[in-house]
């Protein structure tokens, strides 16, 4: 199927989701991007009214160390009370989970009561009309959110309505091999702080033959989003799609071009290896450190727990893990944007099932459970009081690399740029950026033309989506 038709098909799915939700009689849909909607109702207390045990299904995407920790938490929750029983069902990657969900909505299939989706899904789920906004439950239960890291709430709030509850929050880290740094006569305890620092360290690593390349470059649009946000640049117009629906992209700016130019220069000069796009769960950039193909990379903090377990196996004696904040543009203040995933309560179930989903979600976010989650996975505890609990303090004392992402999220200013973009066809926009990276690095397209083309394509994708959802 040609890419343009694949894109149109993906956008059409969302439109059909919205129609299906309307035809099912749902009245809890909201218009994102300033469309004007209150939070609706949440049936808090319905579990008690129903009596007995309310069973709910939770669709998730967790694997490896993250899956083990989640399964233990679900078992603990089910054993802690008898009013709610949760069944956690793995549904593949974030993209696969959303695809299965949209297929079920279109075909009238069984839907979960709670679903974990990545940070790109907010506008899509708002437009689907299948969500009980978390804000409705917060209001109905008079739920106190003052202990949450504010950025995690801001990211998922549109038009003053919190739609999903943040849960598995991550951000971008720099991973590096301390042994390669030592071989290149670099200080292994000092991580590069800017893109220029990475280039300088890469040069030393290559010259010392400490690794084939200094940096393993994953073609991830997330880097572009993070770095432009940190200098106050919005990714799309209309206050990042939060004042009203975004109608065009704005990432073709000086900061965005600097990222593109750095990527091309690093690859052209043999200082970085191109490990491909993140699609399909590609972590070749991390594997490259273990095989001495590279000495550094940037990737999600959510991988830290699994990386720790892999290194503990003893299969990579040539690697001593170093972790630092993600590198900045020159002169930029570190300011991380929320990433990872959140949990949406689905409005198709009974009132008791909706309330049960709310109860389980809030239990997952209690400080004790957030501490367990952070220790087992590398995700960031999103409750500030979690950081004071003994298990977190012990972890950070023994393995300080687990604290880097938390400090990074707390740092910097919280504003419209760092709240992140709200885009209906978010994944399709990212796909276009990946394609522009590939054209630049594989076909000789200049950084200026690559970013301009990606921005123009994003404008078209956003317009198509808006036309289908107007």
Read off the pLDDT of residues 343-364 as tens digits, 9 standing for 90 and up: 999 999 999 999 999 999 999 9
Mean pLDDT of the chain: 89
- Summarize pLDDT for 104-145 with one digit per residue, the tens: 998 888 999 999 999 999 999 999 999 999 999 999 999 999
Q: Could you tell me the two tokens for 105?
A: 């909505």
Confidence category of residue 38, pLDDT binned at 50, 70, 90: low
Domains of the chain: residue spans and CATH:
3-170+340-419 (3.40.190.10), 172-335+425-468 (3.40.190.10)
Gap between the Cα atoms of 113 and 111, Å rounded: 7
Mean pLDDT highest for which of 92-106, 136-150, 331-345? Answer: 136-150
- Summarize pLDDT for 377-393 with one digit per residue, the tens: 889 999 999 999 999 99
- Summarize pLDDT for 220-259 with one digit per residue, the tens: 998 899 989 988 899 999 999 998 999 999 999 999 999 9
Flag whether pLDDT at 18 surpasses 50.
no
Flag whether pLDDT at 36 surpasses 70.
no
What is the DSSP pairing of strand 339-346 with strand 54-60?
Answer: unpaired
Confidence category of residue 439, pLDDT binned at 50, 70, 90: very high
Strand partners, 343: 116, 165
**pLDDT of the residue at 332:** 66
Gap between the Cα atoms of 383 and 361, Å rounded: 14
Write down the pTM of the prediction.
0.86
Q: Which one, of 141, 134, 143, lies nearest residue 161 by Cα? A: 134
- Summarize pLDDT for 396-408 with one digit per residue, the tens: 999 999 999 999 8
Q: Could you tell me the two tokens for 39?
A: 């939070």
Strand partners, 131: 346
CA distances from 327 to 169, 251, 291 (A): 19, 19, 23
Gap between the Cα atoms of 204 and 210, Å rounded: 9
Question: Are 364 and 229 in contact, with CB atoms under 8 Å apart?
Answer: no
Gap between the Cα atoms of 54 and 48, Å rounded: 9
């Amino acid at each position: 199927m040609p890419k343009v038709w694949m894109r149109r098909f993906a956008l059409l799915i969302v439109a059909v989701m919205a129609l299906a939700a309307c035809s099912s009689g749902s009245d809890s849909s909201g218009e994102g991007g300033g469309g004007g909607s209150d939070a609706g109702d949440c049936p808090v207390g319905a579990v008690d009214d129903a009596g007995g045990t309310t069973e709910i299904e939770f669709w998730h995407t967790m694997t490896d160390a993250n899956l083990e920790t989640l399964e233990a938490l679900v078992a603990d929750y089910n054993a802690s009370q008898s009013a709610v029983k949760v069944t956690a069902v793995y549904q593949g990657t974030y993209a696969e989970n959303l695809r299965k969900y949209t297929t079920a909505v279109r075909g009238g299939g069984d839907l979960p009561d709670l679903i974990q989706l990545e940070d790109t899904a907010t506008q899509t789920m708002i437009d689907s009309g299948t969500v009980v906004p978390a804000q409705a439950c917060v209001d109905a239960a008079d739920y106190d959110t003052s202990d949450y890291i504010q950025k995690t709430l801001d990211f998922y709030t549109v038009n003053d309505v919190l739609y999903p509850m943040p849960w598995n929050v991550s951000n971008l880290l720099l991973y590096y091999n301390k042994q390669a740094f030592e071989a290149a006569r670099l200080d292994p305890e000092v991580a590069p702080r800017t893109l220029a620092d990475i280039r300088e360290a890469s040069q030393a690593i290559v010259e010392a033959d400490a690794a084939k390349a200094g940096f393993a470059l994953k073609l991830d649009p997330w880097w572009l989003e993070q770095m432009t946000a940190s200098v106050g640049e919005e990714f799309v117009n209309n206050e990042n799609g939060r004042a009203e629906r975004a109608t065009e992209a704005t990432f073709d700016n000086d900061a965005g071009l600097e990222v593109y130019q750095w990527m091309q220069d690093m690859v052209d000069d043999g200082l970085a290896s191109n490990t491909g796009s993140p699609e399909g769960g590609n972590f070749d950039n991390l594997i490259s450190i273990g095989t001495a193909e590279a000495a550094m990379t940037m990737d999600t903090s959510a991988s830290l727990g699994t990386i720790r377990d892999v290194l503990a196996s003893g299969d990579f004696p040539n690697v001593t893990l170093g972790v630092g904040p993600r590198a900045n543009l020159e002169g930029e203040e570190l300011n991380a944007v929320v990433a990872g995933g959140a949990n949406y309560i689905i409005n198709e179930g009974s009132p008791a099932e909706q309330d049960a989903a709310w109860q389980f979600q809030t239990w997952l976010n209690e400080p004790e459970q957030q501490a367990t989650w952070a220790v087992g996975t590398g995700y960031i505890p999103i409750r500030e009081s979690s950081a004071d609990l003994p298990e977190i303090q012990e972890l950070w004392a023994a393995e300080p690399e687990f604290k880097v992402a938390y400090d990074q999220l707390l740092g910097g200013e919280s504003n419209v740029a760092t709240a992140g973009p709200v885009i209906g066809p978010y994944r399709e926009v990212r796909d276009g950026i990946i394609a522009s990276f590939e054209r630049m690095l594989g076909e000789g397209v200049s950084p200026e033309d690559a970013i301009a083309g990606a921005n123009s394509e994003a404008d078209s994708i956003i317009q198509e989506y808006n036309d289908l959802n107007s």
